Structures are given as structure tokens and as C-alpha cells.
Amino acid sequence: MEDRSKEARALFMQGYNCSQAVFGAYADQLGLSQELAFRIAASFGAGVGRMREVCGACSGMFLVAGLLTGATQGKDQAGKKRNYEVVQELAARFRERHGSIICREMLAGIPGFVPYGGGAQPEERTAEYYKKRPCPDLIEDAARLVAEYFSEYEANK
């Protein structure tokens, strides 16, 4: 799977949320329109609905993993296990690089940051917004992790 990290970063800089940016960057490789990918990932931005829980960039990675490895039968225990292994490995790699997969923990150092979201209203995307956040780098790295992991995954099949 080719690296879409620069595209993911560019999507975020265009105003898409972190989950949309990562998942949307891989839409065509997953057989989805970008519009559908943006809709699927819409609720996972800003740590799931701006609640600052699991990082949206990670959620985007996990959505890709689900489409590539997710079980499609309710009783497929082996398929579920394999998908959960992939998700846990992606999370571990992200956590190793960034210290956490929790949005509020990674944004804690931003002056005026409200750890539990401060409501549903997204912040205005300004040059200052982008300058003070690690999000563009986290998004780019999450998209890169997808490419790295699934290249290894395919090589080891």
C-alpha cells in the first residue's frame, strides 16, 4: 500500500478533521469515493466528536485496518482476532512514536487547551491553529504507519 502521508497532511490543512484526513487519503486504494470516506470518518475527528478521546488520526488508521482486515461474519473469531491484532499493533507503533493515542494527552501542552473538548464547536482553522498543534505531523505519521504496516503485512502473507 503506497504512502499517502503528504496527501493526509494536505487534507487536514484543507479543513478536514484528523480522521477524515488519514482515511480519506487512502479512499481510492480502498475502493471508496473520497466523499464516502469523509462521511465514514467524520465522527472520529478531534478524539471522537471533539471529546479528546482516541486520536482521530489513529481512528483513521483503524478504519483503514477494518476495511483491509475486518471480519465480515459475526462468528468469525479468527478474523476478529486478526483485525484486533492489526489495530493493536498500529496503536502500539503510534504510541511508541508519540507517547499516546489519546488526543487530550497529546494536546495537553497547548496554551488554553480544554482537555475534554470544550463543546462541539470546532476551532477556526487559522495559521495560528496549525502552528500550535502537533496534529499535522501526527496525521502525516499515522498515514505513513498505515503504508509501512500494510507493506510488511503483504510481504508476510
Number of domains in the chain: 1
At 18-44, the pLDDT tens digits run 999 999 999 999 999 999 999 999 999
pLDDT score at 116: 85
pLDDT score at 117: 75
Confidence of residue 46 (pLDDT cuts 50, 70, 90): very high
State yes or no: pLDDT of 154 exceeds 80: no
State yes or no: pLDDT of 1 exceeds 80: no
- What is the SS3 string spanning 85-117? HHHHHHHHHHHHHHCCCEHHHHHCCCCCCCCCC
At 91-136, the pLDDT tens digits run 999 999 999 999 999 999 998 888 887 899 998 999 999 999 999 9
Q: Cell numbers for 104, please give them.
A: 487530550
Residue span of the structural domain in which 78 resides: 5-155
Total-model pTM: 0.95
